[in-house]
Amino acid sequence: MVETRRESPIFDELSGNYLCLDFTHTLDNRHSDHPRELLSSYSDLIAWGQYAHVLMDAEAEQLLAVADRHPAKASAALQQVITLREALYRMFLAIVEGTVPEEGDLALLNVVLTEAMSHVCIVPGADGFVWDWVDKEKALDRILWQVTRSATDLLTSEQLHDVQACAAEDCRWLFLDTSKNHSRRWCDMKSCGNRAKARRHYVRKK
């Protein structure tokens, strides 16, 4: 069945400061009683790729055309990337909370990493060479590989210590804290930060 194109969902402002963390935000209100899946179709995934600047518009068009010809493969690719997203969320949250990530999640990441690495190549760039992907024009899994690469880069970098989760218990949104004195506590001052402030104010008044 050919998927009908709909309006793309509204994605967050890439406030995670790192590709793989921003990707975990595509399940919105994760810890509430009404989580909202922003990737309900392959075209939503492609829309996120464009939004997050990992796909150029022409590349997105090409992938959507491939997806139209191979809908089963496209929905398998979507399922796989969502499964990886949930494993990554659990892994990074475990790290933030000082616990050990589940073995199964790391094993899954390693399986996807092996697959992604078999598609990696280098091509001439403006100043030397840059990483790229073999046959990326028709690779329905391409965003999966890009998110995997981002996650493994972060997991093996010093910046891993700067990964934080929003302090609101019902939010726990992941971000890389790039503030000067590592003082960022909230996903967004306008939402969770303000809610906490209002709650403190209310308690004080009582």
Nearer to Zn ion, 32 or 83 (CB): 32
Q: Per CB under 5 A, does 21 bind Zn ion?
A: no
Q: How far is the CB of 167 from Zn ion (least distance, A)?
A: 7
- Partners of 175 in beta bridges: 164
Q: Name the token pair of 121.
A: 């190549």
Helix H or strand E encompassing 124: strand 120-125
Closest approach, Cβ 127 to Zn ion, in A, equals: 39
- Residue 113 CB, shortest distance to Zn ion, in Å, is 29
Alpha-helical runs (H) found in the chain? 19-24, 42-51, 57-69, 71-96, 103-117, 142-155, 194-205
Contact call for residue 192 and Zn ion (CB under 5 A) = yes
Q: Taking CB under 5 A as the rule, does residue 171 contact Zn ion?
A: yes
Nearest approach, Cβ of residue 169 and Zn ion (Å): 9
Stretches 61-69, 90-98, 106-114, 182-190: which one binds Zn ion (CB under 5 A)? 182-190
Sequential DSSP letters for 171-206: T--EEE--STTS----S-IIIIIHHHHHHHHHHHH-
Could you say whether residue 166 binds Zn ion (CB under 5 A)? yes
> Phi/psi class of residue 32: alpha, beta or left (left: φ > 0; alpha: ψ in -120 to 50)?
beta
46 lies in the binding site for Zn ion (CB under 5 A): no
- Residue 42 as a binder of Zn ion (CB under 5 A): the answer is no
Which parts of this chain interact with Zn ion (CB under 5 A)? 166, 168, 171, 173, 187, 192
